[in-house]
C-alpha cells in the first residue's frame, strides 16, 4: 500500500433510508397534482400527512399559475381516512389532539377542496373510505378506477361523519341514500357509485391517468374565474332561498362579466375564432 492509498473501511450500519414525503406535488402545464403518498398505509391520514396536505392545498389554492387541481393517491387506495393506529394511541393517552384534528385539519382541507377559486378533480385510484371518501366528494369531478369504491366507515367505529360528508353526499345522491350508506357502512363498488351519482366516470387503472390528464388540461386552459364563480354559486344556492341565490348569481355575473376572459370570449365569438383564456 502506498502512502497515497487508504485502507478500506470496515463495514458498518447503513444510514437509514430517508422517509418518502407523505404528500407529493407536481406542477405541470397549470395543473397541480397533489398525491397522497403513504401506499403502505393505504394513504391513511396521520398527523404529518394532514399537516402537509393542508399546507400543499393552501399553496396551490393561492398560486395564480395553478388553474386546475388534481387530488389522487399512490398504491391501491385513494385514501382510507384517519390513520387508526395513530388514533388508537391518541385515544389510549387521551391526547387533546384526538378531536381537535377535525377543526384544525379536516375542516380546512375540505373547505379548500370545495371553495378554492379553481376546479378540482378527484382521481380515485382505489378505495376511498371515511375522510378519504369525503375529500373526493368535495371535488368538482370524480373519476374512479373500476376496482375502486367508497366506504362511509364512520359508524363502523362508532363515530359520526366528518370532513363535509353530511353536506356533500346528500347533495350528490339524496338524503335517504346518504343516511343509509353512513348508518350501514359497506363498500360501494365503482359501477354502483356511478349509478348513484357519486362519481362522474368509471375507467380502468390504465386509463385513469390519461382521462384525468385530458380533463385537467381542458379545465386548466379554460375560464378559471368563471369556474370558481360557478363553484361558489352552486355551494351558496344549496343553503339559501331562491331570492338570495339569484342575488349571488348576479354578483358573480358582474364579477365575471368584467373579466379579461369574458372580453376575450366575446371578441373571439365575433371573429369566429377560438378564445384563449388566461384565468382572469
Cα angle value 116/201/191 (rounded, 5°): 125
Q: Are both 48 and 154 inside the same structural domain?
A: yes
Please state the pTM of the whole predicted model.
0.89
Q: Are both 207 and 230 inside the same structural domain?
A: no
* CA–CA separation, 247 and 270 (whole Å): 29
Contacts of 48 (CB under 8 A, 6+ apart): 22
* CA–CA separation, 1 and 180 (whole Å): 79
The partner residues of 203 in beta bridges, in order of sequence, read: 145
Contacts of 179 (CB under 8 A, 6+ apart): 170
Q: pLDDT tens string for the chain (280 positions)? A: 344 444 455 555 666 667 889 999 999 999 999 999 999 999 999 999 999 999 999 999 999 999 999 999 999 999 999 987 776 676 666 767 667 899 999 999 999 999 999 999 999 999 999 999 999 999 999 999 999 999 998 998 888 899 999 999 999 999 999 999 999 999 999 999 999 999 999 999 999 999 999 999 999 999 998 999 999 899 899 889 999 999 999 999 999 988 888 888 888 888 888 888 988 8
* Residue 257 within any structural domain of the chain: yes
CATH code (residue 162): 3.90.226.10
Looking at the structure of the chain, the number of domains it has is 2
* CA–CA separation, 107 and 164 (whole Å): 7
Tell me whether strands 141-145 and 149-151 are parallel, antiparallel or unpaired: unpaired
* Residue 18 within any structural domain of the chain: no
Order of strands across the sheet with 68-73?
A: 23-28, 31-36, 68-73, 120-124, 141-145, 201-203
Q: Are both 178 and 44 inside the same structural domain?
A: yes
Q: Which of 202, 220, 238 is the last residue of a domain?
A: 220
Q: Are both 209 and 265 inside the same structural domain?
A: no
Contacts of 140 (CB under 8 A, 6+ apart): 119, 120, 121, 227, 231
Element (H, E) at 203: strand 201-203
Range of the domain at 49: 23-220
What is the CB neighbour count within 10 angstroms for residue 119? 23
The grid coordinates listed for 204 are 380502468
Q: Are both 159 and 130 inside the same structural domain?
A: yes
What is the CB neighbour count within 10 angstroms for residue 149? 24
Q: Are both 234 and 105 inside the same structural domain?
A: no
Q: Which of 179, 201, 220 is the last residue of a domain?
A: 220
Cβ atoms of residues 219 and 253 within 8 Å:
no
Amino acid at each position: 500500500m502506498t502512502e497515497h492509498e487508504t485502507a478500506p473501511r470496515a463495514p458498518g450500519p447503513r444510514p437509514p433510508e430517508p422517509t418518502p414525503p407523505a404528500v407529493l406535488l407536481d406542477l405541470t402545464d397549470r395543473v397541480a397534482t397533489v398525491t397522497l403518498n403513504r401506499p403502505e398505509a393505504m394513504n391513511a391520514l396521520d398527523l404529518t400527512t394532514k399537516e402537509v396536505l393542508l399546507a400543499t392545498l393552501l399553496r396551490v389554492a393561492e398560486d395564480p399559475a395553478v388553474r386546475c387541481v388534481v387530488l389522487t393517491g399512490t398504491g391501491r387506495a385513494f385514501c382510507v381516512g384517519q390513520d387508526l393506529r395513530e388514533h388508537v394511541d391518541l385515544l389510549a393517552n387521551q391526547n387533546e389532539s384526538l378531536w381537535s384534528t377535525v377543526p384544525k385539519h379536516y375542516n380546512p382541507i375540505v373547505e379548500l377542496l370545495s371553495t378554492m377559486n379553481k376546479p378540482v378533480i378527484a382521481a380515485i385510484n382505489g378505495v376511498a373510505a371515511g375522510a378519504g371518501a369525503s375529500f373526493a366528494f368535495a371535488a368538482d369531478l370524480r373519476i374512479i378506477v373500476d376496482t375502486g369504491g367508497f366506504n362511509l366507515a364512520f359508524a363502523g367505529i362508532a363515530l359520526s361523519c366528518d370532513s363535509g360528508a353530511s353536506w356533500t353526499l346528500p347533495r350528490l345522491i339524496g338524503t335517504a341514500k346518504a343516511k343509509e350508506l353512513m348508518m350501514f357502512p359497506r363498500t360501494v363498488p365503482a359501477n354502483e357509485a356511478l349509478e348513484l351519482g357519486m362519481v362522474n366516470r368509471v375507467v380502468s387503472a390504465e386509463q385513469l391517468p390519461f382521462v384525468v390528464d385530458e380533463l385537467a388540461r381542458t379545465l386548466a386552459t379554460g375560464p378559471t374565474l368563471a369556474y370558481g364563480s360557478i363553484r361558489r354559486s352552486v355551494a351558496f344556492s344549496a343553503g339559501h332561498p331562491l331570492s338570495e341565490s339569484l342575488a349571488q348569481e348576479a354578483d358573480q355575473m358582474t364579477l365575471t362579466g368584467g373579466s379579461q376572459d369574458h372580453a376575450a370570449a366575446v371578441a373571439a365569438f365575433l371573429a369566429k375564432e377560438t378564445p384563449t383564456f388566461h384565468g382572469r
